[in-house]
Amino acid sequence: MDIFQKCFDYTDAKEAIKAGVYPYFHVLNSGQDTEVMINGKRTIMIGSNNYLGLTSDERVKQKAVEAVKVYGSGCSGSRFLNGTLDLHIQLEKNLARFLHKDDAIAFSTGFQANLGLLSGIAGRNDYIISDRANHASIVDGCRLSFARMIKYNHNDMEDLERALKAAPEKNGKLIVSDGVFSMEGDICKLPEMVKLAEKYGARIMIDDAHGIGVMGKNGRGTAEYYGLEDKVDIIVGTFSKSLASLGGFVVGSHDVIHYIRHVSRPFIFSASISPSNAASALEALRILEDEPERVKKLWENGNYMRKGFKALGLEIGNSETPIIPVMTYGDYETFLIAKQLLDEGVYVNPVISPAVKKGEALLRTSYTATHTIEQLDYALDKFKKVFNK
């Protein structure tokens, strides 16, 4: 059989294109902001992870430009060899200090941070206890490791305890969960998780890609939100959301980070993040520390939209954060509504299985500290118009 036969047989996307509802790979003719240009048309962006609105901040852009002038466009090697800049070292130090941990390590992407951490820290005799709703990068990181993965039902602490009991006492155990779940917009039950970890001798890793810059008074993430920063062993994050750049990171104790730095193949064998990425992330982190009111404004906008959706009678699941799903259930319906909203000048993300369970398709909306009330009202008005159809 031809190995390409699966490619020839794949028709789902072609059928969506033919039906005129294909929702992916829209081309932006502008930078990422609360309003973007798509096909030359002004569009309200409520599908971005630009939570603090810093991708368009002039200070962040200027630091990226300055870094290119000093260091060039790339590093031409891995961190392990010739690819470490003083910018990387400063970024890691600042991240560790900001998140109240000993040390940090920067990866080329957030996806790679989970691959590199989990494949490096978890071995043949270890168990990874993972929430079923965790991000795909966690799932793939578990696959890349030689550890055994036990899944527990989403945010179900009784099922987490069942999974912990299934792991032998003599073996290493790592509980892994998103802090803020990227599709549902709900938050992990960290206090209960901490109690179970202490009871069963497990460590805790939180992927706070959607928590850093979002959760907690100072934007330090889910652990700060719960007042449990000293109880989370490892935090994984990304620069591509609140920190307005590209790359990922892991923070933890000196020994853990030192170990990952020397055994993680995705880290050792990948080129380091570019100078402009490192510099822009550094500046975004500085702004987050200096302007925590951005976090407050982000939540005000999220709460405004949650109230607005409820007033329209739309189902928004169990969202607790500025990530708000609007339930559409069917795949075709999801594509159709997303297209109609885009035609009306509102961009949202259509999400179907396997990103969510079959029959639980949704429109993922997310908000930015720099959205205006006028922009949000415009989006709500278009939701009302489209759903009334």
Catalytic residues: 182, 210, 241
Which helix (DSSP H) or strand (DSSP E) does residue 304 occupy? helix 293-311
How many residues are present in the chain?
Answer: 389
Residue 234, both tokens: 């490892």
Which helix (DSSP H) or strand (DSSP E) does residue 32 occupy? none
**Which positions ≥6 away from 11 have C-beta within 8 Å?**
none
**Which positions ≥6 away from 145 have C-beta within 8 Å?**
118, 119, 120, 121, 122, 123, 126, 128
Residue 108, both tokens: 């080329």
Sign of CA dihedral 57, 61, 64, 70: negative
CB atoms near residue 254 (< 10 Å) = 11
For residue 267, give the nearest of 95, 112, 110 by alpha carbon: 112
Residue 340, both tokens: 């109609």
